[in-house]
Chain A
């Protein structure tokens, strides 16, 4: 479902973030992307989600060659993914409900149907009762959960999370990992970037370990 073939990413300014990457991810897999800070984890996820364009090689999503996609087709590629960003990207000027509703609106789902799905997503991450609260009133971990609710609300085929457990204590992190596993168990392909060395958190998933932009 995701296939990288000798993919490279050269950022403007000359930094080569990814070099000659080739791998495949099948539908329904749980994959951890690990590596030190600056190894290229975020870059890899962005290439998959259509947020950055590869500078060499080919990226196939489904049977689409993403690097040759027309600009007008880009939004529709991005809608396939539920994305938890490294910096959350929550909107602090609106309540939890409206934060989670945004992807639905973008997908053209509004009104009662949207409300039902928003509440279901908030329920899944344990924030159901707080839909009218503002994001600033949430703890760091709760904000992370809100970001997850927003990523899953439009029921994407592929869930991508960029360091979702950073800055969280261990038990909270384990809880969140459990949450991702539960999505994976119902058939969602899940990709998680984490700077942890893998082992302890990956139990049951595949690990792609990056080192200075190459797979090891």
Chain B
């Protein structure tokens, strides 16, 4: 049985050697087609990484009402202590804030113009769930309604926007990949169909002298799968080359921000799914094409 598979593979490789240009073209077409969503994926992945590095952890500033009592401040303190979704928090009393303001070179003038301390007591809170905008929102909403609280401000709205955008990007890539995958199915299927047409006499003869469908199908399935593997590898190489090409410009830009950020290809996450997925697509296309062709040949 293994010998049969080796034979089919040898047949495919022999055909490839006889028509290397056709092979190269197919592999290139598949590679370029797959490189597009793959590059988008790399871009998105890097944006995510960049966002992760920049993300000042979102904070909630909780301002007490001017007329809040000491008990109410103490209540808020105990509430914060008991909450599981609060990582750390810090109390800034109105007196401390006032001193800070007076000490601040730029704000000292403003402070001097004021007769008495206009600042409320405040808490600076760092929630546990950094990257769950919904949870952050809920937390902020809840704190807003604690007694003695004038306002709770979530100063990381951009986190939410970014996450929304990245999610949209992910969906877009999935859609593009699906559409291009469909196109590849058709392209590969057609190429296999042409190969079948070229081998028509052999297929017909093989049928007459006792070849099973499986035997006839096998080399074409290998051909489709190999197209896919070759195309997947080509796509990977294209992505690596493009990344390398872009990184010169990226280095120049990030140097301006004193960052050493570089585009990286998440090879470990990407290589296998890309190649296996592409191979599967090729196999499927071949399976389709051969199935149709075989159905048209038998007349017994």
Contacts and interface: CB of A to CB of B under 8 A. Distances in A.
Nearest to A106: B211
A85 B3 CA distance: 29
Contact of B4 (A79, A85, A110): A110
B213 to A, nearest CB: 8
B202 interface: yes
A75 interface: yes
Interface in B3-21: 3-4, 6-7
Contacts of B211: 75, 106
B201 A102 contact: no
A93 B14 CA distance: 12
Contacts of A71: 298, 300
B205 A102 contact: yes
Given A105-B7, A108-B4, A110-B3, A78 B202 contact: no
Interface string A178-202: 0000000000000000000000000
A51 B300 contact: yes
Contact of B210 (A85, A89, A106): A106
A83 interface: yes
Contact of A91 (B4, B6, B202, B207): B202
B258 interface: no
Interface in B149-208: 201-202, 204-208
B262 to A, nearest CB: 51
B56 interface: no
A111 interface: yes
B206 A89 contact: no
Contacts of B6: 110
B201 A91 contact: yes
B7 A53 contact: no
B300 A102 contact: no
A173 B201 CA distance: 27
Contacts, number: 54
B215 interface: yes
A36 B155 CA distance: 99
A79 B300 CA distance: 15
Contact of A51 (B1, B201, B208, B215): B208
Interface string B194-234: 00000001101111111110010000000000000000000
A154 B63 CA distance: 93
A110 B215 CA distance: 13
Contact of A108 (B3, B207, B298): B3
Most chain B beta carbons < 10 A, residue from A49, A51, A106: A106
A103 interface: yes
Interface string A109-151: 0110000000000000000000000000000000000000000
A24 interface: no
A151 to B, nearest CB: 8
A49 B300 CA distance: 11
A91 B210 contact: no
Contact of A78 (B1, B4, B210): B210
A1 interface: no
A50 interface: yes
A106 B201 contact: no
Contacts of B201: 89, 91
Contact of B206 (A76, A85, A102): A102
Contacts of A108: 1, 3-4
A74 interface: yes
Contact of B205 (A53, A89, A107, A111): A89
A83 B207 CA distance: 12
A110 B7 contact: yes
Given A78-B210, A83-B208, A85-B208, 8 more contacts: A50-B300, A75-B212, A77-B210, A89-B205, A103-B210, A105-B4, A105-B215, A110-B6
20 contacts: A49-B208, A50-B300, A51-B300, A71-B300, A75-B211, A75-B212, A77-B210, A78-B208, A79-B209, A89-B201, A91-B201, A102-B202, A102-B209, A105-B4, A106-B206, A106-B211, A106-B215, A108-B4, A110-B6, A110-B7
